Structure 1
Amino acid sequence: MGNESAVRAGERRRYGQYCGLAACLDVIGERWTLLIVRELLIGPQRYNELLHDLPGIGTNLLAERLRRLTQQGVIRHHPRSNGKGPVYELTEFGEGLREPILGLARWGLNVAGSFDAEDEVRPQWGVLAVEALIRKDQIPEVDESYEFLVDGHVFHIAVRDGRISINREGTEEAALRISTDARTFVDIGAGRVSPFEAVATRRLNLEGDPDALTRCSRLLGLLPGRAS
Structure 2
Amino acid sequence: MSREYGQFCGLATGLDVIGERWTLLVVRELLIGPARFNGLLHNLPGIGPNLLTDRLRMLTERGVVEQTSLAGDGRARLYRLTETGEELRYPVLGLARWGLSFLDKSDTDGETRAEWGFLAVQAMIVQEAIPDVDEVYEFKVSDQIFQILVHGGEVTFERGEVQEPALTIECDAKTFVQVGARMISPFQAIATGDVRIKGDPEAVLRCSLMLGLT
Report TM bin, short chain: over 0.9
The 1:177/1:60 distance shift into structure 2, 3 A limit, reads same
Are the structure 2 counterparts of residues 206 and 99 from structure 1 closer, same or farther at C-alpha, using a change threshold of 3 Å? same
Deviations 1:156-204 (A, max 9, x none): 1011111111111110121111110111101110111121211101101
Alignment partners' CA distance in 2, 1:88 and 1:185 = 28
1:56 matched to 2:52? The reply is no
Secondary structure at the counterpart of residue 86 of structure 1:
strand
Paired letter, 2:121: V
Helix, strand or coil at the partner of 1:145: strand
Deviation at 1:82, TM superposition (A): 5.2
Count of aligned pairs between the two proteins: 213
2:164 corresponds in structure 1 to 173
Identity %: 54
2:144 counterpart residue number: 153
**d(CA) in 1 for partners of 2:106, 2:120:** 16
Structure 2 partner of 1:4: none
Q: Which residue of 1 aligns with 2:184?
A: 193
User: What is residue 207 of structure 2 aligned with on the other side?
Assistant: 216
Q: Structure 1: how far apart are the matches of 2:36 and 2:129?
A: 36
Q: Which deviates further from its counterpart, 134-143 or 66-75?
A: 134-143
Letter in 2 for 1:215: R
Deviations 1:204-224 (A, max 9, x none): 11111111111110110112x
TM-score (norm 2): 0.96
Aligned to 1:164: 155
Q: Which runs of 5+ in 1 are unaligned?
A: 1-10, 224-228
2:64 alignment partner in structure 1: 74
Give the root-mean-square deviation of aligned CA atoms.
1.3
Considering fraction of residues, name the structure with more strand.
2
The answer to whether the aligner puts 1:14 opposite 2:1 as a matched pair is: no
Calculate the TM-score normalised by the size of structure 1: 0.90
Give the 3 Å change call, closer, same or farther, for CA 82–144 of structure 1 in structure 2: farther
Name the counterpart of 1:124.
Answer: 115
Gaps of 5+ in 2: none
